Amino acid sequence: MIDRPATPVSDPHPRPKSVALDPAAGSYQRLLGGPPETVTMRSGLVTLAPGRAVGLHSTGDREEALVVLEGEGRLTLADGGALDLLPGCLAYCPPESEHDVLNVGPVPLRYVYITAKVPNAPVVYEVTT
């Protein structure tokens, strides 16, 4: 006979999984929530109505990818740059990037964002004179 613990021991390692995207989720659906579900990755499905924006925010010590599913958007960067977001594209933001996402089209913009913490992320300093 094999001795087994009376209570299960939690596994400290993330497990493979599949998460369904819910078209009825409203403006946000959490897909991956970070540890212990993943090592550092977080992810969500975002739906923005026409003319709506997420709001200016920074990636901090994470890098971020956006995968556009439907609609048209613009990723604006704090430095004045911008990237068009169209269905089937992936946009990338490195650590310490301030950005916003705006729906510029006539239909909802739906995209999945994925972030992952960067170990020993470089600290960016802006020097002004």
Find where tokens 């659906």 sit. Answer: 29
All structural domains of the chain: 50-117 (2.60.120.10)
Q: What local confidence, expressed as pLDDT, does residue 41 receive?
A: 94
Report pLDDT for 122: 60
Angle at 16 (CA atoms; ends 23, 89), nearest 5 degrees: 45
Q: Identify the band that residue 6 occupies on the pLDDT scale cut at 50, 70 and 90.
A: very low
- What pLDDT digit, counting tens, does each position of 85-121 carry? 999 999 999 999 999 999 999 999 999 999 999 987 5
Instruction: Give the span between the Cα atoms of 46 and 59, in whole angstroms.
Output: 16
pLDDT, position 127: 65
Residue 19 has pLDDT above 70, yes or no: yes
Structure tokens at 59: 């990636």
* pLDDT for position 13: 84
Quick check: 7 pLDDT over 60?
no
pTM: 0.82
CA gap 123, 70 in Å, rounded:
34
Q: How confident is residue 5, by pLDDT bands cut at 50, 70 and 90?
A: very low
Q: What is the pLDDT of residues 41-62, one digit of tens each?
A: 999 999 999 999 999 999 999 9
